[in-house]
Amino acid sequence: MKITEKYDKILTGVISGLLLPVIIAFFIFIFAKGDPGLHEWFRRIEMAGIETHIIYLSVFPNFLIFLLFNHFDMLRALRGVLGITIAWAVVVFLIKLF
């Protein structure tokens, strides 16, 4: 069994599709100007009206995971990433709607 066959599961795609945006958002928080606390950072984002922009920046690397899974023909994992990315898009739509 090759390593790509071992990790070609929908759960692998779902976990990577959820975990990578959280890691990217953490790095955005770490490099935020002024070294705010987490609560202050969320308040500043909300006041500036850039919640969806932060989500866009965080979710965009899912495209790279998508391409990586596609390159290695890991279609089940690819479906997991695609599903989570669509879920993130629904979240952005709901935020924009309300």
How far is Cα 94 from Cα 41, in angstroms, rounded to an integer? 21
**pLDDT given for residue 4 in this prediction:** 87
**pLDDT given for residue 50 in this prediction:** 93
What Å distances lie between residue 41 and 11, 19, 30, 52, CA to CA?
31, 20, 10, 14
Give the predicted TM-score (pTM) of the model. 0.86
Domain hosting residue 60, numbered range: 3-97
What φ, ψ does residue 13 adopt, rounded to 5°? -65, -40
In total, how many domains does the chain have? 1
How far is Cα 85 from Cα 16, in angstroms, rounded to an integer? 11
Rounded to the nearest angstrom, the gap between the alpha carbon of residue 68 and the centroid of all alpha carbons in its chain is 15
Q: State pLDDT tens for residues 2-34.
A: 888 899 999 999 999 999 999 999 999 998 887
